[in-house]
Amino acid sequence: MPDTTMQLPPVLSERRGAIALLTLHDPTRRNALSLPMREALHDLLEQAMTDEAVRAIVITGAEGRFCAGGDLRSMENIAPTAARLRLRRAHRLVRLIVRGEKPVIAAIEGDAAGAGLSLAAACDLVLTSEDARFIAAFDRVGLMPDLGALWTVPARTGNSAARRLLLLGEVFDGREAARCGLADKAVAPGQALSEALAVAERLAAGAPLAIAAVKAMLARAPQALDAVLDSEADNQAVLFSSRDFAEGRRAFFEKQKPQFTGC
């Protein structure tokens, strides 16, 4: 039987109702985040963010592995100028996940290592199997954490756990990741994707404008109190006049489930 692995794109895209499911797909290399995979993931995420029918996005990895990190084979003899350009292109992906209007959920099985850890930490919610492994790994090859990990990991875990992970190179299993906040919930092995899809369904039923406003404000943290209150006033004023708020009020008083449209 012919091997079709290399005939498939590096990221598989599937619609589950209002959910876009994106699967990193290079199982022979443990879904290493190669340059083609980064570009494909960025483009598919951008499509999902602009598709009005999509309400939530789930990122996972093929064959029980999330992502083994960057593609070391493509990193030989990179001049500083080329390295900066390479990272700036990768940063588009991080910004899109963090600043995009729609919630992005990571479903982790196996290893989330190096850039895979960074990718997971950038997501709004992280669902992990208990036996998954979160590994910074950058120090093992003489590099510093990238793809935003020095911003996203401490924001999730606080500085103590971030130092253990990013400086000491400790390996966190799914349980430890959930304890320290790197993941939001640890579930039985093999159940991370189904749990992530269940959470995505809940988010997909929510009010898109309100979710987008919350994401936007969280992405600016930390901020001074006055800046948060000013942003709150601006965003909430718009939401008060939305059809979704009118629908939410109607459903509340009529004891029904609201049907939000993002208007």
Q: How confident is the model at residue 222 (pLDDT cuts 50, 70, 90)?
A: confident
pTM > 0.85: yes or no: yes
pLDDT for res 1: 45
Phi-psi region of 147 (alpha: psi -120 to 50; beta: other; left: phi over 0): left
Instruction: Please state, in angstroms and rounded to a whole number, the distance separating the CA atoms of residues 21 and 149.
Output: 23
Amino acid at the residue 33: L
Task: Calculate the average pLDDT of the chain.
Answer: 93
Contact 165, 113 (CB under 8 A): no
Mean pLDDT of the 29-38 span = 95
Instruction: Please state, in angstroms and rounded to a whole number, the distance separating the CA atoms of residues 210 and 239.
Output: 7
Strand order in the sheet with 133-135: 111-113, 133-135, 172-173
pLDDT for res 60: 98
Q: Which domains does the chain have, with CATH numbers?
A: 5-204 (3.90.226.10), 208-253 (1.10.12)
Task: Select the highest-mean-pLDDT range: 80-84, 209-213, 246-250.
Answer: 209-213
Instruction: Please state, in angstroms and rounded to a whole number, the distance separating the CA atoms of residues 249 and 252.
Output: 5
Q: Count CA atoms within 13 Å of residue 71 on its CB side.
A: 18
Residues 71-94 pLDDT 10s = 888 777 788 898 888 899 999 999
- Note the residue count of the chain: 263
Instruction: Please state, in angstroms and rounded to a whole number, the distance separating the CA atoms of residues 124 and 10.
Output: 23
Element holding 11 (H helix, E strand) = strand 11-16
Cα dist from 164 to 75, 126, 147, whole Å: 26, 19, 18
Cα dist from 59 to 21, 207, 251, whole Å: 6, 21, 32
Instruction: Please state, in angstroms and rounded to a whole number, the distance separating the CA atoms of residues 161 and 167.
Output: 10
Residues 106-146 pLDDT 10s = 999 999 999 999 999 999 999 999 999 999 988 888 889 99
Q: Which two tokens stand for residue 39?
A: 């570009």
